[in-house]
Amino acid sequence: MSEMMKVVMKTKGERGAVLTVKEIPKIGPKEVLVKVLATSICGTDLHIYKWDQWSQKRIKPPLVVGHEFAGEVVEVGSEVENIKVGDVVSAETHIVCEVCELCRTGNAHLCANTKILGVDTQGTFAEYVALPAVNAWVNPKGVDPAFLSIQEPLGNAVQTLLAGEIIGKTVAVVGCGPIGIFAVAVAKAVGAAKVIALEVNDYRLNLAKELGADVIINPKNEDPIIKVLEETEGLGVDVVAEMSGNPTALKQSLKYVKLGGRVSLLGIPAEEVSIDIANDVVFKGINLQGIVGRRMYETWYQVKGLIQSGKLNLAPVVTHRLPLEEFQKGFELMESGQCGKVVLYPDIKILEQYK
C-alpha cells in the first residue's frame, strides 16, 4: 500500500478547499482503517467550504473534510473484535466519550464531549479514513456504496420523524434539501396520512414530489400558512419537521401547526430567531423539540429496517456522482441547490461500476 493518499482538505481559513496528498492514517488498537468507496457531500461540508461564521468558530485547518461515506475495511486494530478486514462499513459520525452520564444512560447522541468525523477529526474526502471500531456500522455487501453512504443523513430524517407519532398524521416537511427529501420518503413509508413539502427551490420541490409528497408548496409563490390550513381542513398539521433553519419558515410553521401538535427542529438557523412563545407555543400546547443527529444506535437499526422493508426508494435522491477530483463541481451544485445528494468517488473504477 502506498504511504500517501489523495484528499480534499481545508488548508486555510478562507472559502474553498484543495485537492492534495496526505499520509495514510495510522490506526490505534481500537480503530479500523477503511478504504473509502463513496462519500457524499453534506450541508455541513458546504458550510466549511464557504467558511461561514459557524465554520470560522468551529473548524481548525488543516482538516480533511467529509463524513458521510461507505468503505471497505483494510486493517483492524489489535483490540478490535467486532469488525474484520473486508467488511463494508458506514460510520456513526458522532464520536462520543462513552463514560459520561448521557452516554451511560442511553443518550450518547447528546454527549457533551462529542467529536464529529470530518469536523473535529480527519474526514472521509480521502482514499482512506481511520475510524473508531465502535463507530463502524457493518453493511451488507453488493449494495451500491452511494446508497450506503447516505444512511447517516437518512438517520437524521428518521430520528426527526420518529420522535413522536406519525401513523395517520398530517406532516409538513419544511426545507427539501437532501435530508428534507429523505424526511418526505420516511413519512410516507411509516404511514403518514398526508405529507406536505415546503421549499423555495423548485428543483428540490419536484424531488420531494417524486419521493412521495402529496402536496408541494413554494412559499415564494403562495402563502404557506393559508395553503397548509386549506390542506388540513383549517386545523393545521399534526407534525412539522423543520429542516430549513430559515427563521421565517420556522415562524410560519408555528402558525400552521395544529393545536397540541409537534414541531421537531433539525435545521440550524444562522442567527438567533425570535418567536412568540406565548401565542405560538404555550397557548397552542405544542411540543417544540430539538433533534440532534441520530440516537446511537437505535436510529441505525430503524434505518436498516426501513431499507429492508422496500418502502424507501432512495434512487432519486442520488442525483450526481463525481470523481473526488471534481469536488469543486460538487460544491457548486450543492450551493446552487440544483441537486439532491452529490456523491464523490476516490477510486474512478468504483464510480464507473455504479454510474
Known catalytic residues?
A: 44, 47
Beta pairing partners, 323: 345
| 100/296 Cα distance (integer angstroms) | 14
65: closest CA among 22, 114, 99?
22
**Distance, CA of 215 to CA of 194 (rounded, Å):** 8
SS3 6: strand
Residues 6+ apart with CB under 8 A from 273: 247, 250, 251
| 103 labelled binding-site residue | yes
Residue 68 annotated as part of some ligand binding site? yes
Residue 204 among known ligand-binding residues: yes
Cis peptide before 247 (omega within 30 of 0): no
Residue 199 marked ligand-binding: yes
Q: How many CB atoms sit inside 10 A of residue 329's CB?
A: 14
Q: Tell me whether residue 67 is annotated as binding.
A: yes
Q: Is 179 annotated as a binding residue?
A: yes
Q: Residues 70, 89: contact at Cβ < 8 Å?
A: yes
* Residue 267, marked binder: yes
CA nearest neighbour of 96 among 107, 83, 84, 82: 107
State the binding site.
42, 67-68, 97, 100, 103, 111, 179, 199, 204, 266-268
State the binding site for NAD(+).
179, 199, 204, 266-268
